[in-house]
Amino acid sequence: MAEYHHYRFDEVRPGVVAGIALPGGVGLSNSGIVRLEPGSVIFDTTLSPAAFREVLGESRERTGGTPTAVANSHWHLDHILGNQEVAHLSTYATERTLEILRERREALQNEIRPATLEKDIRELEARRDRASSPALRDHYDTVLSMNRALLRQAAEIRVTPPNQPFRDRLRLPGAAGAELVTFGGGHTESDAVLFLPQQRVLFAGDLVVVGTHPNVTSGDPEQWLRILERMRRLGVERIVPGHGPVVGPEALDSVAEYLETLLRLGEEEHPPEIPERYRSWTGPEQFQENWEYLRRRSSA
């Protein structure tokens, strides 16, 4: 059994595996491995080539070969930075996601330059020192250890856009009947999911996150709510979220409730407290950033 630092692998169904990012590792977001019969697909390539190599290793063990396809749910760095490891394969994303990655490639590369990461780390250290509770300090320590590990790999990382755009829906070859689907943009301008109709499983990217604050700052929460409604109609039984453990379809309601709460609080003049039921979630600073984003948007 290989020893992993970045991922834990949970079998959701026979041939369907969720790579759940470990706290403090440099994967940060979840990844998925699905046997297509024949071939296999990996959904999302994590925050670093090193973390993604764990997913590739597990995929080889579970499927007996290299994947025949790889897909990115959206353009955020924690879902794409393993792409360079599989650039010779068919790598999929929506047309709009591919466009964004091509347009912003240099700016995104800048975000992971050693000098930028060193500056981020100094800022995080200052925030950790100002943290108002031990829980918040622990949170910053976890984020810091991830950033320091990312810094050690930074010189080898190249933002690599995928090579196969798709428009609305793409059925991947194989008896598994897996489909890449986009309902437009909510978390970002364009979000894709991996839908397994026979197995009733959905890899949701960051349209669903569990136990952590959803990030609305590059998307549109109203559209996101509409997308959640369409996801509900897929009739899935298990959802692999972008962050957090594998869940049932009730997670769609929990994200919807968060977005509705946020939209309501976005009408307030002053920064609200984090509502009680979200206080135990990780990434508390995201709540404030979400609120500020909605305020800026309404005054624009």
Of residues 189 and 206, the one with the C-beta less far from Zn ion: 206
HSE-CB for 285 with a 13 A CA cutoff: 12
Alpha-carbon distance 111 to 59, whole Å?
29
Could you tell me how many residues of this chain bind Zn ion (CB under 5 A)?
Answer: 2
Per-residue contact string for residues 17-56; x = within reach of Zn ion by CB under 5 A: ----------------------------------------
Question: Of residues 54, 189, 191, 206, which one binds Zn ion by CB under 5 A?
Answer: 206
Of residues 1 and 107, the one with the C-beta less far from Zn ion: 107
Distance of closest approach, residue 103 Cβ to Zn ion, in angstroms: 17
191 binds Zn ion (CB under 5 A): no
Distance of closest approach, residue 29 Cβ to Zn ion, in angstroms: 7
Beta bridge partners, 202, equal 195, 239
- Work out the angle between the directed axes of helices 284-299 and 250-265 (0-180°, nearest 10): 50
Alpha-carbon distance 135 to 83, whole Å?
34
Distance of closest approach, residue 185 Cβ to Zn ion, in angstroms: 11
76 binds Zn ion (CB under 5 A): yes
Distance of closest approach, residue 269 Cβ to Zn ion, in angstroms: 29
Distance of closest approach, residue 45 Cβ to Zn ion, in angstroms: 13
Binding site for Zn ion (CB under 5 A): 76, 206
